[in-house]
Amino acid sequence: MTGVVFRSLAYALLQLAVTPIYSIVALLTFPFAPLTRYRIISTWSRLMVWAAKHICGVKYRVLGRENVPSEPCIVMSKHESAWETLAFQVVLPPQVWVVKRELLWIPFFGWGLAMLSPIAIDRKEGRRALRQMIEQGRSRLAHGFSIVIFPEGTRSVPGERGTYHAGGAWLATQTGAPILPVAHNAGDHWPRNSFLKYPGVVTISIGPPLRATREIKALDLMRRVEQWIEDEMQRIRPR
């Protein structure tokens, strides 16, 4: 346990040292095209994933990499920790996220996030937030970005099943973009709201793309996504 604490502290100190530097770099990328900004700023995430592996022993493996489509898609994933928000930038094509607007207010981290063209919504605005997601989602897809959505809305405890919301499926029906379902067990090694990072191998499982059609309603599509993710969670975390 002492080793876990020491390695987690070393990781936190590295993160504390490099994040302000990267936030300044992120702000300096403002004149560049969105994809160029993404490639520069996402090197921070790549560094953090590398450090998690070599300092904390948090490794990973990817199943179903061949399922990633060549076109921009809507990634709908389980959400258990901060790790997957970093690792997806290494594993998946260029992406933006649907996030809570409040995240952009966090010093340094929020500044860098703002330069990555997220779809930052106020969940309290209901239909207005959905309209914003559709409008900005179309734009991000047209610029070559996939869109990452965590349909449960917040990080869940490993083994628990949250309420899946249909906003991402609705976005798919409105834009025609395929949905890429993703399951993982990152919470086993990088628990939510935890300082400690435990060594081990995170399994990321990518499912076959699901396409919206006129015959499939958003709620039905969401149920298919939920079923695949939760079934896959049972497979990669049988306990």
Query: Domain spans of the chain?
Result: 2-236
CA pair distance 114, 3, nearest whole angstrom: 35
CA pair distance 216, 164, nearest whole angstrom: 17
% residues pLDDT > 70 (the chain): 98
Helices (H) and strands (E) in the chain, counts: 8, 7
CB atoms within 10 A of CB 105: 12
Q: Give the pLDDT band (50/70/90) at residue 10.
A: very high
Task: Dump pLDDT digits (tens) for 37-61.
Answer: 999 999 999 999 999 999 999 999 9
So what's the pLDDT on residue 142?
94
Say whether 124 sits in a helix, a strand or coil: helix
Checking if the pLDDT of 11 tops 80, the result is yes
The total number of residues written for the chain in this structure: 239
Tokens read off for 51: 């450090």
Distances 160 to 9, 29, 115, 192 between C-alpha atoms, Å: 28, 39, 33, 13
Which among 159, 120, 181 has a CA at the least distance from the CA of 238? 159
Checking if the pLDDT of 239 tops 70, the result is no
For the domain covering 2-236, report its CATH number.
3.40.1130
Task: Dump pLDDT digits (tens) for 131-180.
Answer: 888 899 999 999 999 999 999 988 888 888 999 988 889 899 989 899 99
Relative to beta strand 200-206, strand 74-77 is unpaired
Distances 56 to 52, 155, 195 between C-alpha atoms, Å: 5, 21, 11
Q: Which residue has the tokens 């309209």?
A: 131
